[in-house]
Amino acid sequence: MATDNETTTKNNEQVVDDGNDLVIDQIIRIVILSSTVQIICGLQPMEIGEGDNKKTIGYYLHTPCVLTTSRADDGSVDASMTPWIPGSKDRVVPVALGQVTTVVEPLHNLTEMYVQNILVPTIESKESTSVNAIPDALDNSGTVPIYQPNHIKE
């Protein structure tokens, strides 16, 4: 019997995607704030209420980075990503709905850039930090890396 499940290999183990887990490409968005700053992040709605009374009152921005882009003469996109609030250890930042102008899906290449150069190093850094370690105010091992400009083709 055929199913819609996809089987992939991750760390030499088979992983079955049954459609119930969030796919990272589906939650990464560019959020344009009322200040016109563009933020690339994992986006989760902040909601209150239940059922038909559910209302979005804001968003949780996961590992937010300022996205700076420009178009080159050849039509490609130059992009750089830097931590939105570099002085904070918080990886999830709540933002009120009134501060968000719009939310858009990033180009596939920007999503790949964000995942490979921001999320993966952040997760690896967090995993390598000992669970029993006492946090140090000057310890920046959990900081979000700065991803410098990259020339990408659409």
- The pLDDT value recorded for residue 14 is 38
Interval 83-110 mean pLDDT: 95
Taking the C-alpha atoms of residue 116 and residue 134, their distance in angstroms, rounded to an integer, is 28
pLDDT in tens, 23-55: 565 799 999 999 999 999 999 999 999 999 999
Domains of the chain: 23-127+144-152 (2.30.30.100)
Taking the C-alpha atoms of residue 39 and residue 81, their distance in angstroms, rounded to an integer, is 9
- The pLDDT value recorded for residue 10 is 39
pLDDT in tens, 52-78: 999 999 999 999 999 999 998 998 889
- The pLDDT value recorded for residue 75 is 87
Taking the C-alpha atoms of residue 43 and residue 5, their distance in angstroms, rounded to an integer, is 25
Compute CA distances 38 → 32, 85, 127, whole Å: 5, 13, 28
Q: Is the dihedral of CA 80, 85, 89, 93 positive or negative?
A: negative
Torsion angle of C-alpha atoms 47, 126, 109, 79, degrees rounded to 10: 90
pLDDT in tens, 101-137: 999 999 999 999 999 999 888 777 777 764 545 544 4
- The pLDDT value recorded for residue 92 is 93
When pLDDT is cut at 50, 70 and 90, the band that residue 18 belongs to is very low
Residue partners of 8: CB distance under 8 A and separation at least 6: 14, 15, 17
Compute CA distances 120 → 97, 100, 125, whole Å: 28, 26, 8
Taking the C-alpha atoms of residue 59 and residue 10, their distance in angstroms, rounded to an integer, is 30
